[in-house]
Amino acid sequence: MTLRTILATLVVSCALVAGASASNVKVNIGYVTAADYMPAFASKENGCFAANGIDAHFTRIPVTTNMPAALIADTLQIGAQTATLFLPAVENGLELVAVAGGTRILQGNETLSLVTSTKFQVGRGADVIGKKIGMPGINSVADVVFRKWLKNEGVDVSKVTIIETPFPQMKDLIKSGQIDGAIAVEPVRSMIVNEGVGQRAAVEYHTAVAKDSILAFWTASRKWADKNPQSIAGFRNCLKDAVAWIGANRDRAREIEKQYLGFNTPVRPDWNADIKDEDFAIYVDMNLELGVMRKRVDLKNLVWVQR
Amino acid sequence: MIRATCRALAAILFTLLVFVVWQAAIDSGLVNRIFVAAPLSAIDVIAERAANGTLWTTTAATAQRLLAGWIAAVGIAMLLGTAVGNSRAAHQYLSPTLEFFRPLPASAVIPVAVLFFGLTTKMSTFVIAFGALWPVLLSAIHGFVSVPRELREVASTLEMGRLRYIFTIAIPSASVDIMAGLRISLSLALILTVVTEMQASLPGLGYELFLAQRTYRSADLYAGLMTLGVFGFLINQALLLTERRLMRWKLA
């Protein structure tokens, strides 16, 4: 083989590799520390994203409230959100759309609950009057649904002190008595209960409000979604396949979970990549009732569809 | 008098010009109104809050918190400053420790304050006092150390006791420095009041800003910023007037 042939082969190989990389769309995906987003992690690790032309890069974000701004600024292309943060952003003019489902919260498999100190038990809304409850975010889905539950129970919300408390601090603040309880997700919930610091409430407040509702989902800016319909389709298909893959590859899935979240959760969320406009109706009503939103948004524009 | 009036008018006109340019930038689409609200929209929100009373209750809550922390800061700073500025022994014993704490950002102290006091008004008062005491302390020490030698000699000649010297000579002499420290300290105290209200979800102007940011209500956000700006301006003017009244003899 002559030197010319070797060089020609090298140049052609480089061109092919560059071409293949160029056809992959770089997608920065923002997530918060929760097992709800496992199908996305699995889709990257099992090669599904790459096979669908998605060059996925994950970024852990401390709080979901930063997600809308990051999506509009194109720092992230896809971001994890919940309805009570997504809807006010859309109401106030941010051009965001839901692109895929993440999890639903179903009665009997609640992944977040009210946990309280062992000094008192909560069986109804009146039991938290005068108490300080730690919330993972003001106006988060945990907060809004909790306040809706209190209203349904006939409790004046102003009689309960709601304090924004990051998940990692919840156990220590309950233990020291600075808060009386908190809305905790796994594994924080199990940590609080298993270490004897607190106990789960006797009533599951979220499913008391809605037996089956969307919890976490994926969003993007409408501008980016319209420009990348193939990536959205690939993202959705991979998430759907990932749920079955996780079930069939439990050990590998636990490794991936530990890699992305730093822990393994004892409870398996109800992952669901499907999402419909109607999923947001209950949250629009709640947000309006509780003053989180001031006007209705058009449900038909919330889930991205290729035009 | 005429010059002062002209200066005041010029300041008002400049502020109005800033508002006009800002409104024009929004109306022309030069700036995205999702992220930067028009001044008229923000003023509408302020008017609405004034009408329904929330403006006054939130401002009062912030003012109360600010004053509690600032007064604590001034009290501690004056005690320490008087000791360090007028006693060689106190200067030698206290200065190294004070120099250790001085560079600590007040915001870095918030987690410690939360551990001790929880997410309460006490936590807020502690953080405000910690952050706001340093300008007063340092200016007081500087003022006391800078008392003219001639005045010290007068005190020595008259065989003044230490306390009498401090109240009749040292504090009046150091008052210009102390007042400057008080004004800087008050601005810092306002910043820390807003930060702690956001951190601990305490009702007040800071918490209103935090909620506006969370719900992407830019008009509410800018209304909150304007309210804070006006509030800060007014308390600074109040302190300036107090300075002019108390120190008429010095400024003459």
The nearest CA of chain A is from the CA of B211 a distance in Å of: 8
Nearest to B215 among A88, A93, A164 (CB): A88
Residues for chain A: how many in total?
A: 307
Q: Which of B213, B204, B199 is nearest to B54 (CA)?
A: B204
Give contacts of B119 with chain A, Cβ < 8 Å: 132, 163, 165, 178-179
Q: Residue B11 belongs to what domain range?
A: 1-31
By C-alpha distance, the chain A residue nearest B117 is A178
Give contacts of B220 with chain A, Cβ < 8 Å: none
Same domain membership, residue A182 and residue A230: no
Same domain membership, residue B119 and residue B167: yes
In a domain, B92, yes or no: yes
Q: What is the ipTM of this complex?
A: 0.72
Same domain membership, residue B54 and residue B12: no
Q: Which residue, of A174, A209, A244, is where some domain finishes?
A: A209
Nearest to B201 among A94, A164, A292 (CB): A164
Same domain membership, residue B14 and residue B54: no
Cβ distance of A162 and B214 shorter than 8 Å: no
Asked if A51 has any chain B CB less than 8 Å from its own CB, the reply is: no
In a domain, B116, yes or no: yes
In a domain, B36, yes or no: no
Same domain membership, residue A36 and residue A75: yes
A200 backbone dihedrals φ, ψ, rounded to 5°: -75, 145
Q: Which residue, of A155, A177, A209, is where some domain finishes?
A: A209
The span from the CA of B73 to the CA of A198, in Å, is: 38
Give contacts of A65 with chain B, Cβ < 8 Å: 213-214
In a domain, A3, yes or no: no
Same domain membership, residue B47 and residue B7: no
Same domain membership, residue B182 and residue B78: yes
**CATH code, domain with A242:** 3.40.190.10
Cβ distance of A92 and B218 shorter than 8 Å: yes
The nearest CA of chain A is from the CA of B34 a distance in Å of: 6
Residues in chain B whose Cβ is within 8 Å of chain A: 33-34, 114-115, 118-119, 200-201, 210-211, 213-218
The nearest CA of chain A is from the CA of B121 a distance in Å of: 13
Is residue B56 left, alpha or beta, with left meaning phi > 0 and alpha meaning psi from -120 to 50? alpha
Same domain membership, residue B63 and residue B24: no
- Tell me the three state secondary structure of residue B98: helix
- Tell me the three state secondary structure of residue B148: coil
Same domain membership, residue B128 and residue B184: yes
Cβ distance of B33 and A93 shorter than 8 Å: yes
In this structure, are residues A83 and A278 in contact, taking their beta carbons and an 8 Å threshold?
no
The span from the CA of A71 to the CA of A95, in Å, is: 9
Per-residue model confidence as pLDDT tens for chain B (252 residues): 788 888 889 989 999 999 999 999 999 988 888 788 999 999 999 999 999 999 999 999 999 999 999 999 999 999 999 999 888 888 888 888 888 888 888 888 888 888 788 778 999 999 999 999 999 999 999 999 999 999 989 998 998 888 899 999 999 999 999 999 999 999 999 999 999 998 888 889 999 998 898 888 999 999 999 999 999 999 999 999 998 888 877 655
| Sign, Cα dihedral of B187, B192, B197, B199 | positive
Whole-Å CA distances, B65 to A147, B46, B118, B196, B247: 27, 21, 16, 10, 28
Give this prediction's pTM.
Answer: 0.79
Q: Which residue, of A209, A241, A265, is where some domain finishes?
A: A209
A99 backbone dihedrals φ, ψ, rounded to 5°: -110, -25
Count of domains forming chain A: 2
Residues for chain B: how many in total?
A: 252
In a domain, B84, yes or no: yes
The span from the CA of A198 to the CA of A189, in Å, is: 9
The nearest CA of chain A is from the CA of B142 a distance in Å of: 41
In a domain, B37, yes or no: no
Nearest to B216 among A88, A176, A179 (CB): A88
In a domain, A279, yes or no: yes
In a domain, A1, yes or no: no
Nearest to A138 among B118, B201, B216 (CB): B201
Cβ distance of B201 and A162 shorter than 8 Å: yes
Half-sphere exposure of A137 (CA within 13 A, CB side): 19
The span from the CA of A60 to the CA of B178, in Å, is: 47
**CATH code, domain with B154:** 1.10.3720.10
Beta bridge partners of A164: A135
In a domain, A306, yes or no: no
Question: Quick count: other Cβ atoms within 10 Å of Cβ A281?
Answer: 14
- Tell me the three state secondary structure of residue A9: helix
pLDDT tens-digit map of A168-216: 889 998 998 889 999 998 888 988 999 999 999 999 999 999 999 999 9
Nearest to B214 among A138, A163, A178 (CB): A138
Same domain membership, residue A14 and residue A91: yes
The span from the CA of A186 to the CA of A194, in Å, is: 12
Same domain membership, residue A221 and residue A102: yes
Q: Residue A169 belongs to what domain range?
A: 112-209
Count of domains forming chain B: 2
pLDDT at B33: 80
The nearest CA of chain B is from the CA of A86 a distance in Å of: 9
